[in-house]
Structure 1
Amino acid sequence: MVSRFGDALRTTALPLLAVQLTDDPLVIASVTACGYVPWLLFGLLGGAVADRVDQRRAMWAVDLVRGLLVAGFALAVGLGHASIPLVLALAFSLTALQTLFDNAATALLPNLVDRAALGSANARLMSGQQLAGGLLAGPFVPLLLTVGAAMPFVADASTYLLAAALIASLRLRPPEREPRPAGSTLRAEIGEGLRALWRDRALRAVCVATLLCNIGMGALIATLVLHVTRWLHAGDAEYAAAMTVYAAGSLAGGLVAQRIARRVGRVRALLFGGTVQVVSLLVMGTVRHLGALLGGMLLLGLMNMVWNVNQVTLMQQRSPETMFGRIASAFRTASTSGAPLGAVLGGAVAHAYGLNAPALLGALLFALAVTSLIPASKADVPVVAPDDDATTAHVTR
Structure 2
Amino acid sequence: MPAAPVTATRDRRLTWLLGSNAFANLGDGIAKTAFPLLAALVTRDPLLIGGLSAAQFLPWLLFGLAAGTMLDRVDRRKAVVLANAARAAAVGLTAALVYFDAATIWLIYLTALLVGAAEVVADSAANVLIPSVVGRDGLSGANSKLQATEIVGQTFLGGPVGSLTFAVFHAFPFLLNSIAFALGAALLTGMAGSYRPRARAESGGGDGTDPGTGAAEGADTAGDTDGTVTATRTRLRADLVEGMRWLRGNPLMLRLVTVAGLVSLVTELAQAQLVLYALDDLDLSDAAFGVFGFVGGLGGLAGAAVTTRLLDRIGARPVLVGGILTAAAAFVAMGLVNHPVLSASLFGVFAAALVAVNVMLATTRHTLVPGELLGRVLGAWRTVVWGAIPVGALLGGVLTRVLGTPSATFLVSGLALVGVAAVAWRTIR
Which residue pairs with 1:394 in the alignment? none
Q: Displacement of 1:100 after TM fit?
A: 1.6
Whether the 8 Å CA contact 2:164–2:287 is kept in 1: the answer is no
Matches within 5 A, 1:108-187: 108-175=129-196, 176-178=198-200, 179=203, 185-187=235-237
Letter in 1 for 2:49: I
Q: What displacement does 1:316 show?
A: 0.9
**Cα drift, residue 235 of structure 1:** 2.2
CA positional deviation for 1:267: 2.6
**Identical residues among aligned pairs (%):** 29
Letter paired with 2:63: F
The alignment's C-alpha RMSD in Å is 1.7
Q: Identify which range, 100-109 or 137-146, moves more after superposition.
A: 137-146
Q: Provide the residue aligned with 2:296 in structure 1.
A: 246
1:228 to 264, 278, 291: 278
Q: Is the 8 A contact 1:51 1:324 kept in 2?
A: yes
Residues 73-97 of structure 1, C-alpha deviation per residue, up to 9 Å, x if partnerless?
Answer: 1011001101101110111111111
1:1-397 pair list within 5 angstroms:
1-175=22-196, 176-178=198-200, 179=203, 185-355=235-405, 356-378=407-429
Alpha-carbon separation, structure 1, partners of 2:96 and 2:304: 36
Partner Cα separation in structure 2 for residue 195 and residue 353 of structure 1: 43
Greater percentage in helix: 2
Cα separation, 2, equivalents of 1:268 and 1:202: 15
SS of residue matched to 2:324: helix
Report the CA distance between 1:171 and its aligned residue.
1.2
CA distances 1:237-287 after superposition (whole Å, capped 9, x unpaired): 332122111111111111001111111212321111001111111101112
- The 10-residue stretch of structure 1 (355-364 or 157-166) with the greater mean CA deviation from structure 2: 355-364
Q: CA deviation at 1:13?
A: 1.0
Task: Name the CA shift for 1:148/1:238 in 2 (closer, same or farther; >3 Å).
Answer: closer
> What SS does structure 1 have at the residue aligned with 2:159?
coil
Q: Alignment partner of 1:139: what SS?
A: helix
CA contact (8 A) 2:56 2:113 kept: yes
Determine helix, strand or coil for the equivalent of 1:185: helix
Match of 2:13 in 1: none
| Structure 2 residues without counterparts, runs of 5 or longer | 1-21, 204-210, 213-230
C-alpha displacement of 1:354:
2.4
Sort the Cα spacing of 1:146 and 1:288 in 2 relative to 1 into closer, same or farther, 3 A: closer
Q: Which residue of 2 aligns with 1:388?
A: none
Q: In structure 2, what is the Cα distance between the partners aligned to 1:100 and 1:187?
A: 18
Amino acid aligned to 1:71: G
Q: Do the aligned residues in 2 keep the contact of 1:59 with 1:101 (CA within 8 Å)?
A: yes
What per-residue deviation string (whole Å, max 9, x for no partner) do you get for residues 146-198 of structure 1? 43100000000001111111112321233432448998522222222223223
Relative to 1, partners in 2 of residues 1:198 and 1:295: Cα closer, same or farther, differing over 3 Å? farther
Q: Deviations 1:56-89 (Å, cap 9, x if unpaired)?
A: 1111011111111111110110011011011101
Q: Which moved more, 1:289-298 or 1:155-164?
A: 289-298
Which whole-Å CA distance do the structure 2 matches of 1:174 and 1:159 have between them?
Answer: 23
1:108-140 CA-partner distances (Å, limit 9, x unpaired): 110111212100110012112212332122222
CA distance in 2, matches of 1:38, 1:100: 10
CA contact (8 A) 1:197 1:331 kept: no
Does structure 2 retain, via aligned residues, the 8 Å contact 1:106–1:324?
no
SS at match of 1:112: helix
2:61 and 2:395 map into 1 onto residues whose CA distance is 17
Contact kept? 1:212, 1:365, Cα under 8 Å? no
Residues 166 and 287 of structure 2 are in contact (CA less than 8 Å); yes or no, is this contact kept in structure 1?
no
2:154, 2:328 → 1: CA distance?
25
SS at match of 2:283: coil
Distance 1:340 1:307 in 2: 20
Q: Do 2:167 and 2:286's aligned partners in 1 also have CA atoms closer than 8 Å?
A: no
Q: 3-state SS of the aligned residue for 1:210? A: helix
- Give the total of aligned pairs: 378
- In 2, distance between residues paired with 1:197 and 1:90? 33
Q: For the Cα contact (< 8 Å) 1:346–1:358, is it kept in 2?
A: yes
Distance across 2 between alignment mates of 1:288 and 1:149: 28
The answer as to whether partners of 1:5 and 1:136 remain within 8 angstroms in 2 is: yes
Q: Write the distance in 2 (CA, Å) between the matches of 1:6 and 1:321.
A: 29
Runs of 4+ with >6 A deviation: 180-183
TM-score normalized with structure 2 length: 0.84
C-alpha separation in 1, matches of 2:412 and 2:387: 17
Instruction: Report the CA distance between 1:201 and its aligned residue.
Output: 2.3
Q: CA deviation at 1:376?
A: 4.2
Contact 2:50–2:393 under 8 Å retained in 1: yes
Check the 8 A contact 2:152/2:297 in 1, yes or no: yes
- 3-state SS of 1:234 partner: coil
Q: Which amino acid aligns with 1:261?
A: L
